[in-house]
């Protein structure tokens, strides 16, 4: 029986809510209990956006994640704001091409990946979030092509079905990044 | 030979209106039109708050009593629910031109396919004669005891003129009922307003300049005269918008 | 296996309403419930329904009054300040005995307040939505699945009793996504409505929808009759979830999002050996007094957990007839209590500290 609490954060427009949704969908497909809760309001317009995602074997109580097991920070304000909230032994994934400083805490695992740089170098500048997501899943041992395809199929609307392959490639790039 | 009878659409109950009030005339005209168009079975009337608050007792068709000023919104709901129904509102000046201005303007802007009968008698009758949005400059009422001071409370609202600025409404006409000729003209206008709805043309509003002898403090005869002398110069009669006629005009 | 989709609470309400046969929606934009209107705007034109953005909340509720008069399922949705504007219409709907669904996705107040989640419209929903003696059936979902289920139930109850149902949610419930099994929703057919104003077709006497009654003796009788109906609803429709209450000596009372937070705290306290449980009202009116009365046999202290300054706590005191202390554990203005805060309150109660 386990519960994982995720907090995804970054600038509005970086696709933070989207990768949160992906993790929730993936959990749902795997028959877990899940919840996804966005911050809402004016901060979505250019400021810091965040969403709480819980994936659990049990019924989800509060959908609000104030002490995440996994923090995903795509900009410096997010890391500054949420670093101290991560539980001891938790993990912080961050975009090292946008965040110049290191994670200060010693009691958490820190995984930096230059997602934004990799995205523009590889010709999909809008998919830094998916690169980071690939890294998160591989690091957690949850990266399987079929699992990813199933979740992508859910989270990408039929209208954008042609985007599935490029999203998968971005995720693979992140997953394989050392 | 029957020379005069109650229209079928008018209920056989005594009206509560004051002697000399013109509400009764307009009720009868609406009922005659409903009879003549053969639409009683599918007509829904919406009564307002004000003197005609109990109009739901006076028509034989299905009736709904609305909150003050909200009749056009209620009519919108009824019409959207059953577009085959013929839906009319019957509203006074406080209801339509003050507390319900937003509902009036926006149902007109949407060109809701409804018929609005607007009784403008320049006063709040039911509550005992207070200043209405349509009270004339200088008009003495209970709440303008020294006469309506336009510097203090502004100018009357001219609904037909105002709504005519909108692209939405199909038909806007101002009539009165203070003599036989005008009553016949008012009936023609009201019939057109219902026919427009039957034809799916949209929002039609007939403003009826009416009298309120009780609260104007006049005899019924003097009140009818006051309509000619004071009301009509401020609220000129006539057609303010007729979209179908405009279209026809464009084609010629 | 049941087919689940991940949906926002607001969207689940909209989809469930459509499945329940609602084809008319009227609303006015306000955060945090706008997804309901957006969903309806997209779907209604495709299924022959009406979505209309009204000029005001007041107009919207009166359009609802119109469709309800015509005997069809109809709804509007808003958030706190907008619901205040609907108050007039809610009173008229009650006075004319019309069925309708009104959704309030609450935000912090009073006044313009904020846009973050709140439960501070509890009094408004259960006691004072408008002038006059009346009640609405008030349902409080605590999951996205329940948002859908209770939407359907709200329509059923509204039609059954010819009165307004309110779904009382909050910004969190509206904005969060959870898996929903929509195909499991039980949709019952709408009852006949011979009272509706659909036109006499010259075959029956006219129907009149009205709340005016100038003879006080008559108006009193209407009120008596309505309250007999309310008494029946109180007897038969009150609903609550009881969680780990078997041997509970401390009882947390919480609805909606507060119950989600409290569930974590109850579990954590149980791990510490504290005998605590939770009663989660699902109907706020009628308030489920019976499980509270029953709980008096074991419970020594009650804690009301709310996102307001203490509103439901009054109903907890009434239900327990003030025979036990009831304390408040709350946040307000758009803040949400944490499980830790609730756990502290439980611990304090267990230690006999807080009275």
Is residue C287 assigned to a domain? yes
By C-alpha distance, the chain C residue nearest B61 is C206
Q: Is residue C121 part of a domain?
A: yes
Tell me: do C265 and C284 sit in the same domain.
Answer: yes
Question: Both C227 and C276 in a single domain?
Answer: no
Residue B13 lies in a domain: no
Peptide bond into C298 cis (omega under 30): no
Q: What mean pLDDT value characterizes chain B? A: 96
- Out of C6, C115, C261, closest to residue A41 by CB: C115
Domain assignment of residue C202, yes or no:
no
Average pLDDT score over residue span C26-46: 95
Instruction: For residue A67, give the chain C residue with the closest CA.
Output: C338
- Residue C355 scores a pLDDT above 80: no
Q: How far is C339 from chain A (nearest CA, A)?
A: 8
Q: Is residue B16 part of a domain?
A: no
Regarding whether C336 and C250 lie in a shared domain, the answer is: yes
CA-based nearest distance C15→chain A, Å: 18
Average pLDDT over all residues of chain A: 92
From the candidates B37, B55, B66, B81, which should be mutated to test the interface with C, based on the most C CB atoms within 10 A? B81
Can you give the pLDDT at residue A46?
Answer: 58
C346 touching chain B per CB within 8 A:
no
pLDDT (0 to 100) of residue C353? 52
Q: Is the pLDDT of residue C354 over 50?
A: no
Asked whether the predicted pLDDT for residue A41 surpasses 80, the reply is: no
Instruction: Report how many domains make up chain B.
Output: 1
- pLDDT tens readout for residues B126-171: 999 999 999 999 999 999 999 999 999 999 999 999 999 999 999 9
Work out the average pLDDT over A115-121. 97
Chain C interface, best mutation among B80, B84, B102, B110, by max C CB count within 10 A? B80
The pLDDT of A121-125, averaged and rounded, is 95
Region C40-58: mean pLDDT is 97
What is the total residue count of chain B?
A: 252
Q: Which helix (H) or strand (E) holds A170?
A: helix A164-176
CATH of the domain at C261: 3.40.50.920
Evaluate whether C344 touches C154 at the Cβ level (below 8 Å).
no
B41 SS3 class: helix
> Mean pLDDT over all residues of chain C?
96
Among candidate residues B86, B117, B104, B110, the one with its CA nearest the CA of residue B199: B86
**All residues at 6 or more sequence positions from B250 whose CB lies less than 8 Å from its CB, including other chains:** none
CA distance A166 to chain C (A): 23
Give CA–CA dist C258/C284, Å, rounded: 14
Of residues B248 and A163, the one with the higher pLDDT is A163
**Helix and strand tally (H, E) in chain A?**
6, 6
List the single residue in B53, B61, B80 with the smallest CB-CB distance to C200: B61
Residue A44 in this model has a pLDDT that exceeds 60: no
Domain ranges of chain A: 3-176
State whether C70 and C160 are in the same domain.
Answer: yes
Domain extent, residue C33, equals 5-195+211-236
Q: Do B77 and C62 touch (CB under 8 A)?
A: yes
Share of chain B above pLDDT 70, in %: 99
- Whether omega before C264 lies within 30 degrees of 0, making that bond cis, reads no
B208 DSSP β-pair partners: B119, B175
> Which residues in chain C have their CB less than 8 angstroms from residue B41's CB?
199-203
CA–CA dist C196, B81 (Å, integer):
11
CATH for A3-176 (3.40.920.10, 3.40.50.720, 3.40.50.620, 3.40.190.10): 3.40.920.10
Confidence (pLDDT) at B251: 65
Q: Is the pTM of this model over 0.90?
A: yes
Q: How far apart are CA A98 and CA C279, in angstroms?
A: 47
* C2, pLDDT greater than 90: no
* Residues of A whose CB is below 8 A from C116: 41
C119-130: average pLDDT: 96
Same domain, C277 and C186: no
CATH number of the domain that residue C108 is part of: 3.40.50.970
Does B194 map to a domain? yes
E strand or H helix that includes residue B222: helix B220-226
Q: Could you tell me if C188 and C272 lie in one domain?
A: no
Residue of A28, A33, A62 lying closest to C261 (CB–CB):
A62
Q: Inform me whether the pLDDT recorded for B247 exceeds 90.
A: no
pLDDT band of A1, cuts 50, 70, 90: low
* Total structural domains within chain C: 2
pLDDT at B32: 98
Scanning every residue of chain A, which has its alpha carbon at the shortest distance from the alpha carbon of C6? A25
Average pLDDT over residues A79-91: 96
* Beta-carbon contacts of residue B114 (< 8 Å; ≥ 6 apart): B72, B75, B76, B79, B87, B88, B89, B107, B197, B203, B204
Average pLDDT over residues C19-33: 96
What are C25's two structure tokens?
């929606």
CA dist., res. C253 & res. A23, Å (int): 32
* Residue B7 located in a structural domain: no
Q: What is the pLDDT of residue B80?
A: 98
pLDDT at C349 over 90: yes
Q: Residue A73 contacts by C-beta under 8 Å, 6 or more apart in sequence?
A: A9, A10, A79, A82, A83, A92, A93, A94, A95, A99
Q: Return the DSSP state at B95.
A: I
User: Could you tell me the CATH number of the domain that includes residue B29?
Assistant: 3.40.50.970
Rounded CA-CA distance C106/B203 in Å is 36
Among the listed residues C322, C231, B52, C262, the one whose alpha carbon sits nearest the alpha carbon of residue A62: C262
Site of tokens 């501070």: C120
pLDDT, position C1: 45
Domain, as residue range, for B207: 23-251
| SS3 call for C31 | coil
C284 and C305 belong to one structural domain: yes
Kindly state the average pLDDT of the residues B3-12.
94
* Cα(C60)–Cα(C66) distance, integer angstroms: 10
pLDDT at C188 over 70: yes
């Amino acid at each position: 029986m386990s519960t994982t609490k995720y907090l995804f954060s970054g600038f509005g427009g970086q696709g933070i809510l989207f990768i949160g949704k992906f993790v929730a969908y993936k959990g749902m497909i795997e028959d877990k209990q899940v919840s996804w809760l966005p911050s809402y309001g004016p901060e979505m317009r250019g400021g810091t956006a965040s969403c709480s995602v819980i994936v659990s074997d049990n019924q989800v109580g509060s959908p609000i994640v104030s002490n995440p097991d996994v923090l995903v920070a795509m900009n410096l304000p997010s890391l500054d704001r949420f670093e101290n909230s991560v539980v001891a032994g938790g993990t912080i994934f961050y975009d090292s091409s946008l965040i110049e400083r290191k994670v200060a805490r010693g009691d958490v695992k820190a995984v930096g990946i230059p997602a934004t740089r990799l995205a523009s170098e590889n010709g999909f500048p809008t998919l830094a979030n998916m690169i980071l997501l690939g890294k998160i899943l591989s690091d957690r041992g949850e990266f399987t092509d079929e699992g990813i395809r199933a979740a992508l199929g859910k989270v990408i609307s039929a209208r954008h079905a042609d985007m599935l392959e490029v999203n998968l490639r971005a995720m693979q790039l992140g997953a394989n990044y050392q | 030979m029957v020379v005069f009878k109650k229209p079928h659409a008018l209920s056989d109950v005594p009206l509560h209106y004051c002697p000399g009030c013109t509400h009764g005339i307009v009720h009868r005209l609406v009922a005659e039109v409903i009879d003549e168009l053969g639409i009683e079975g599918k007509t829904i009337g919406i009564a307002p708050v004000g003197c005609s608050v109990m109009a739901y007792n006076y028509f034989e068709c299905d009736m709904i009593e609305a909150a003050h000023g909200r009749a056009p919104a209620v009519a919108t709901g009824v019409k959207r629910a059953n577009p085959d129904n013929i839906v009319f509102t019957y509203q006074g000046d406080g209801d339509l031109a003050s507390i319900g201005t937003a509902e009036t303007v926006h149902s007109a802007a949407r060109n809701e396919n409804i018929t609005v009968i607007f009784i403008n008698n320049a006063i709040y009758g039911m509550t005992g004669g207070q200043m209405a949005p349509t009270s004339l400059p200088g008009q003495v009422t209970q709440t303008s005891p020294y006469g309506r001071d336009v510097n203090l409370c502004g100018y009357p609202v001219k609904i037909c003129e105002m709504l005519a600025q909108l692209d939405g409404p199909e038909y806007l006409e101002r009539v009165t009922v203070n003599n036989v000729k005008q009553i016949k003209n008012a009936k023609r206008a009201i019939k057109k307003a219902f026919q427009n709805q039957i034809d799916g043309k949209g929002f039609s509003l007939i403003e009826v300049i009416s009298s309120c002898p009780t609260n104007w403090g006049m005899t019924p005869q003097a009140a009818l005269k006051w309509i000619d002398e004071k009301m009509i110069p401020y609220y000129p009669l006539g057609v303010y918008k007729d979209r179908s006629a405009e279209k026809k005009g464009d084609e010629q | 296996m049941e087919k689940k989709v991940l949906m926002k609470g607001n969207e689940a309400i909209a989809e469930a309403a459509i499945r329940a046969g609602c084809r008319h929606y009227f609303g006015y934009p306000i955060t945090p419930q706008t997804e309901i209107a957006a969903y309806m705007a997209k779907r209604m034109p495709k299924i022959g329904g009406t979505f209309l953005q009204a000029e005001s909340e007041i107009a919207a509720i009166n359009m609802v009054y119109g469709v309800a008069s015509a005997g069809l399922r109809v709804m509007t949705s808003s958030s706190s300040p907008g619901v205040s504007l609907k108050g007039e219409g809610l009173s008229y709907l009650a006075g004319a005995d019309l069925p309708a669904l009104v959704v309030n996705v609450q935000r912090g107040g009073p006044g313009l307040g904020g846009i973050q989640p709140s439960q501070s419209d509890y009094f408004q929903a259960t006691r004072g939505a408008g002038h006059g003696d009346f009640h609405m059936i008030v349902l409080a979902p605590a999951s996205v699945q329940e948002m859908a289920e209770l939407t359907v139930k709200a329509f059923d109850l509204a039609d059954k009793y010819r009165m307004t149902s309110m779904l009382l949610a909050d910004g969190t419930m509206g904005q969060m996504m959870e898996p929903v099994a929509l195909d499991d929703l039980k949709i019952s057919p709408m009852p006949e409505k011979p009272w509706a104003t659909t036109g006499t077709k010259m075959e029956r006497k006219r129907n009149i929808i009205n709340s005016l009654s100038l003879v006080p003796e008559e108006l009193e009788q209407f009120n008596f009759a309505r309250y007999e109906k309310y008494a029946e609803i109180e007897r038969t429709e009150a609903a609550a979830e009881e969680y780990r209450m078997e041997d509970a000596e401390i009882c947390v009372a919480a609805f909606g999002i507060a119950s989600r937070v409290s569930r974590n705290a109850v579990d954590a306290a149980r791990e510490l050996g504290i005998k605590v449980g939770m009663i989660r009202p699902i109907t706020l009116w009628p308030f489920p007094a019976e499980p509270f009365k029953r709980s008096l046999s074991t419970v020594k202290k009650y804690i009301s957990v709310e996102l307001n300054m203490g509103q439901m706590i009054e109903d907890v005191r009434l239900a327990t007839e003030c025979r036990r202390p009831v304390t408040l554990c709350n946040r307000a203005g758009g803040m949400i209590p944490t499980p830790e805060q609730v756990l502290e309150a439980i611990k304090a109660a267990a230690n006999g500290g807080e009275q």
